[in-house]
């Protein structure tokens, strides 16, 4: 599993750094042979297609469409660099009026992870996760008179985090806290959060120890043009 994850991570880095979507020619150092046929258009080499951004587009769409919720982890650690990359992606999310009303708690201590797993069994923090990220809303940074917009903003950041984890060959799952008042208070107490810092969810992250099936969620009946 470790070798597979490293391979996936190397491919993901190659895709996002060079735009190459051809898994067979991506190398762990991020290199690309530039001669492989592009998976997106099937007519050009990576080198030619990259000039149009075709393979980059395909890589991003594929990453979104193949993301799954992972709830079982190997217990392996992840690097500080990986954690920072995840958080940089999370903080790149849009927010109303660019208020960025978020704070992120990163839990790596094994005892703390165990406590979270016991208190919130649904969170899967006790299932070998390397870390748990807890995206929170900072009400002091929220829009005056429209404070609840923080929920939208922190949700966007959380989705960025999930997609980044998938692109890096890691697993993660969004487990809800807010708006359940009891869960919010419990987590605030455990993490010693002030009242104006409200946890939205718990996201365990780690090396996946399962391969959930990708679900096709497309449903044309849910799409409406111009009027309902």
Tell me, what's the pLDDT at 45? 58
Average pLDDT over residues 140-168: 97
Of 100, 103, 128, whose CA–CA distance to 114 is shortest? 128
Among 28-42, 43-57, 142-156, 169-183, the minimum mean pLDDT is found in 28-42
CA 164 to chain centre: 4
Report the predicted TM-score, pTM, of the whole model to 2 decimal places. Answer: 0.80
The crossing angle, in degrees rounded to 10, of helices 2-18 and 54-66 is: 140
Hey, CA dihedral for 117, 89, 151, 105, is it positive or negative? positive
Tell me, what's the pLDDT at 200? 98
pLDDT of 5 > 50? The answer is: no
Tell me, what's the pLDDT at 58? 87
Q: How far apart are the first and last CA of the chain?
A: 47
User: What is the set of domains in the chain, with CATH numbers?
Assistant: 2-66 (no CATH), 80-206 (3.40.109.10)
Buried b (16+ CB within 10 A) or exposed e, 152-168: ebbbbbbbbbbbbbbbb
Q: Are 168 and 82 in contact (CB under 8 A)?
A: yes
Among 36-50, 81-95, 136-150, the minimum mean pLDDT is found in 36-50
The percent of residues above 90 in pLDDT, for the chain, comes to: 74
């Amino acid at each position: 599993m470790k070798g597979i994850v490293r391979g996936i991570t190397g491919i993901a880095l190659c895709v996002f750094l060079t735009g190459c979507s051809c898994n067979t020619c991506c190398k762990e150092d991020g290199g690309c042979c530039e001669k492989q046929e592009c998976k997106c258009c099937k007519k050009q080499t990576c080198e030619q297609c990259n000039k149009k951004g075709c393979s980059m587009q395909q890589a991003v769409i594929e990453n979104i469409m193949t993301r799954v919720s992972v709830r079982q982890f190997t217990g392996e650690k992840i690097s500080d660099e990986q954690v920072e990359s995840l958080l940089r992606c999370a903080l790149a999310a849009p927010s109303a009026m660019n208020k960025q009303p978020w704070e992120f708690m990163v839990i790596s201590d094994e005892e703390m992870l165990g406590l979270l797993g016991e208190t919130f069994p649904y969170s899967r923090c006790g299932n070998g996760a390397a870390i748990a990220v807890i995206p929170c809303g900072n009400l002091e940074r929220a829009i005056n008179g429209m404070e609840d917009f923080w929920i939208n903003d922190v949700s966007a950041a959380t989705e960025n985090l999930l997609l980044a984890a998938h692109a890096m060959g890691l697993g993660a799952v969004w487990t809800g806290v807010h708006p359940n008042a009891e869960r919010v208070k419990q987590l605030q107490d455990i993490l010693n959060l002030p009242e104006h810092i409200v946890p939205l969810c718990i996201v365990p992250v780690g090396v996946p120890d399962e391969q959930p099936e990708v679900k096709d969620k497309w449903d044309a009946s849910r799409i409406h043009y111009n009027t309902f």
